[in-house]
Amino acid sequence: MDKIKINFTNCFGIKELQHTFDFTSKRACSIYAPNGTMKTSFAKTVKCISNEEAPQDLINTEKVSDALIIKSNGDDVSSEDVFVIESYKEDYESKKVSMLMVNKELKAKYDKIHSDLEKKKDTLLKEISPLCGIKSKDNIEIEISNAWGRTPRDIFQCFEEIESLIEDFSFPVNIKYKTIINEKVIEFLKDKDTKILIKEYIEKYDELITKSQYFTKGVFNHNNVSVIGKNLNDNGFFKVKNKVIIKDKEINSKKELDDLLEGEKSKIFNNADLLIRFEKLDEKLNKNAAMKELRTLLENTPEIISYLDNIDSLKKEIWLSYLNQKEEEIKALVDMYKLSKEQLKKIVEEAKRQKTAWDQVVEIFNERFDVPFIVEIDNQQDVILKENTPTINFKYNESGNYKDVDRTTLINVLSNGEKRALYILNLIFEIEALIKLNKDVLVVIDDIADSFDYKNKYAIVEYLNDILKSGIFRMIILTHNFDFYRTVINRLGIPRNNSFMVHKNDNNIKLVQGGYLKNIFNVWKDEINSKDRIMIASIPFVRNLSEYLEVKNSPNFLKLTSLLHIKDGTNNITVADLESIYNEVWRVPKKLNAKSRKVVSVLFEEAEKVVQEDTERINLENKIVLSMAIRLLAEEFMMTRISEKEKIKNITRNQTCELLKLYKEENNDISQIKVLEEVNLMTPENIHINSFMYEPILDLSDSYLKKLYSNIKEMQSVAYEESALHKNEDGE
């Protein structure tokens, strides 16, 4: 984007703006745009492009709006190619903080450990799937964690507990999980009558187990015997002529053990009283068609009924029945998890200690900006390793003591300048994140330094210079503050052909080459001999010099004051008089032209020329000449309308203001008073200037001054006509 061409039509008050920005020699441009010309409208339009939204004219909604920014290669600038820094946005929070906290090496280690764990876990869940009848690994994970009262994120803790239970586990039957753990079955088991029937069945069952010749409740039941028989047989116990003795009964084979088991089970489950209880339960099952699968299960394996009184325990028992078949895999997974926990702990501790790009941003901010708060990240390790959203904590400095405050509270106690500083911090996060992406981006900056004190204002300029030095961005810096405009140009080394001022008329806006980047009066002193306008515009400056360098109310000071206010000798001062004063006060020889001319006549001649000109430049001398002419016309007008001339003679200071007070005492024309009040408000700042403080007059548009000049001139013309009419009437 060495060059970009903008073409805006009917965009938020911009009727038409076409301009090509050339970043070949410098990656920054600065635009001085007095309030009301186009600054915020320009930023809003670019923001629309950034947000992929259509710009509009909010007043004339029927007009077609269009906004194009075209790169030097002919491509349109896309939303990703621009970043707009608005003047201020209180609720703005950077979404890019986490990007500044990236540590790829640590993250890679962390992810590798988790990836290996996840793969091993997924393999286990895949092997469990045919046993439990649940296809989805995620659903298996959810069901296991729910059974142990946890969430899926704690699945490895579940496996730790499961590993400790598997070795001593026994369960009477292999069933599919959803056969018994589903919404309808659980609803049935929670039914009050069902619970009573199950309780009665279990009580009788426990009684029979207690009376059993071979079984012992909770220690040695049919489940245990079945598991023992399988383990002995699998390990070749009976093949080598080993035997088992159970209550004096000798068992020499698995078949004998199975026969003993089945015989004892038959005695228990065929007990008349237990069968009666089963039939009652079976009767209730028959009434519910949805319980058909459960009924079949209980009919074939009645021993499972003893588990139905505690659903939570039943869930665990069923899962243990599956996982018991994968004992080695469970142990291997838990061993890996325990080792990984130690490794992860070390990585997390290292992540906490890491100095990230985020820390560097905060250090830069704290060093350069004067604010009563500091910023911290509470969850740095989670942001680095888990890509969690950063939790930003604010500490407010109260006489050296830092107190934790939330963002809302902080906003409420900060001054406007401090709020803007917080906003700037978030913008710095955004910019630094873009720097990490190393993407060529056009950054449009809308009056970023507004409402700052000088220390923070220069901190912003310093950071803008950092952005420029990154060599990544192109910047367009807009401001209505002329001092900031000059500072940015000088500090960032922006050349004159990249500095612009806004010229606005009724039809379009143009960006013209900027001026007044150095001390304007050093330029004027070399042109004053040949240019009447500069000769006139220098009067306020030389008057200030006289005030500083000469005795109070020196003759030179008083004579120059007579050119800024209507005095007895105002109309008699010649160019020769002015030359003499300039040579004496400015101390640089001047040879002004046509010395016999009256200075006031030259002033009004130049004012008329300015009104007729349609210059595209923001011209300081034009504004000063108009301001001087406006005030002299206004004072002359008021003097003609004030009847008590002695009161006028008694005015010693603040002449325009005092004349207005006297005028109001005798005149009540609201429209005229309004014009005169504008003159009174505008002219002091615009005429009493020095080499450092001429920003106020530059902020006023030419059209405003020209209109005010025309209004006051028309008022004076009417006054002259009325005065002439009265004289004629008196003569008659």
pLDDT tens-digit series, residues 198-243: 888 888 877 887 777 666 665 555 555 566 666 777 777 777 777 7
Point out the domain boundary residue: 474, 492, 513. Answer: 513
Mean pLDDT is lowest, of 53-57, 273-277, 566-570, 713-717, for 273-277
Instruction: State whether 558 and 410 are in the same domain.
Output: no
Looking at the predicted structure, is the pLDDT value of residue 513 above 90?
no
Q: Does 673 fall in a domain?
A: yes
Confidence of residue 384 (pLDDT cuts 50, 70, 90): low
Q: Does 298 fall in a domain?
A: no
Instruction: State whether 377 and 397 are in the same domain.
Output: yes
Show the 3-state SS of 442-459: EEEEECCCCCCCHHHHHH
* Strand ranges for 338-473 from DSSP E: 373-377, 392-398, 401-405, 442-446
Q: Does 313 fall in a domain?
A: no
**Domain range for residue 547?**
520-731
Percent of the chain clearing pLDDT 90 (strictly above):
34
User: What does the pLDDT read at residue 23?
Assistant: 95
User: What does the pLDDT read at residue 574?
Assistant: 96
- Asked whether the whole model's pTM tops 0.85, one would answer no
Contact residues for 481 (Cβ-Cβ < 8 A; gap 6+) = 447, 449, 450, 695
* Nearest partner of 449 among 413, 484, 418, judged by Cα: 484
Looking at the predicted structure, is the pLDDT value of residue 535 above 60?
yes
Instruction: State whether 589 and 653 are in the same domain.
Output: yes
Q: How many CA atoms lie within 13 A of 608 on its CB side?
A: 7
Q: What dihedral angle (degrees, nearest 10) is formed by the CA atoms of 508, 509, 513, 516?
A: 120
Q: What is the pLDDT of residues 618-628, one digit of tens each?
A: 788 888 999 99
User: What does the pLDDT read at residue 717?
Assistant: 85
Point out the domain boundary residue: 462, 481, 513. Answer: 513
User: What does the pLDDT read at residue 692?
Assistant: 45
Helices 104-132 and 155-166 cross at an angle (nearest 10°) of 50
| 197 residue type, one letter | L
Q: What radius of gyration do the chain's Cα atoms show?
A: 46
User: What does the pLDDT read at residue 168?
Assistant: 62
Instruction: State whether 591 and 449 are in the same domain.
Output: no
Rounded Cα gap, residues 78 and 19, in angstroms: 18
Q: What is the mean pLDDT of the chain?
A: 84
Instruction: State whether 549 and 441 are in the same domain.
Output: no
User: What does the pLDDT read at residue 411?
Assistant: 84
Q: What is the pLDDT of residues 453-483, one digit of tens each?
A: 666 778 888 888 988 988 899 999 999 888 8
Instruction: State whether 458 and 435 are in the same domain.
Output: yes
Angle, vertex CA 143, rays to CA 142 and CA 144, nearest 5? 95
Q: What is the pLDDT of residues 283-303, one digit of tens each?
A: 877 777 667 788 788 877 787
Confidence of residue 427 (pLDDT cuts 50, 70, 90): confident
Instruction: State whether 501 and 599 are in the same domain.
Output: no
Q: Are 468 and 494 in contact (CB under 8 A)?
A: no
Q: Does 525 fall in a domain?
A: yes
* Strand ranges for 201-334 from DSSP E: 244-246, 249-251
Between 442 and 366, name the one with better pLDDT. 442
Instruction: State whether 705 and 590 are in the same domain.
Output: yes
CB burial class (10 A; 0-12, 13-18, 19+) of residue 322?
buried
Instruction: State whether 526 and 491 are in the same domain.
Output: no
Instruction: State whether 492 and 444 are in the same domain.
Output: yes
Confidence of residue 648 (pLDDT cuts 50, 70, 90): very high
Q: Are 222 and 264 in contact (CB under 8 A)?
A: yes
DSSP string, 525-544: HHHTTT-HHHHHHTHHHHHH
User: What does the pLDDT read at residue 405?
Assistant: 86
Largest Cα–Cα separation, the chain: 158
Q: Does 147 fall in a domain?
A: no
Q: What is the pLDDT of residues 348-373, one digit of tens each?
A: 787 777 667 777 878 878 778 788 88
Which DSSP letter does residue 297 get?
H
Point out the domain boundary residue: 491, 513, 535. Answer: 513
User: What does the pLDDT read at residue 363?
Assistant: 81
Q: Does 161 fall in a domain?
A: no
Q: Does 70 fall in a domain?
A: yes
Q: Does 257 fall in a domain?
A: no
Rounded Cα gap, residues 721 and 482, in angstroms: 42
Q: What is the CATH number of the domain that holds 399?
A: 3.40.50.300
- Number of domains within the chain: 2
Q: Are 704 and 533 in contact (CB under 8 A)?
A: no
Neighbouring C-beta atoms of residue 331, cutoff 10 Å: 14
Between 205 and 81, name the one with better pLDDT. 81
Percent of the chain clearing pLDDT 70 (strictly above):
88
Looking at the predicted structure, is the pLDDT value of residue 508 above 50?
yes
- 64 phi and psi angles, rounded to 5 deg: -80, 125
- 252 phi and psi angles, rounded to 5 deg: -110, -5
β-pairing, 373-377 vs 392-398, is: antiparallel
Between 62 and 215, name the one with better pLDDT. 62
Residues, the chain:
732
Rounded Cα gap, residues 200 and 184, in angstroms: 22
Instruction: State whether 377 and 470 are in the same domain.
Output: yes
Q: Are 539 and 581 in contact (CB under 8 A)?
A: no
Confidence of residue 725 (pLDDT cuts 50, 70, 90): low
User: What does the pLDDT read at residue 691?
Assistant: 42
User: What does the pLDDT read at residue 683?
Assistant: 64
Looking at the predicted structure, is the pLDDT value of residue 680 above 70?
yes
Which DSSP letter does residue 723 get?
H
Stretch (H or E) spanning 14: strand 14-22
Instruction: State whether 414 and 487 are in the same domain.
Output: yes
Between 335 and 544, name the one with better pLDDT. 335
Helices 222-234 and 254-269 cross at an angle (nearest 10°) of 170
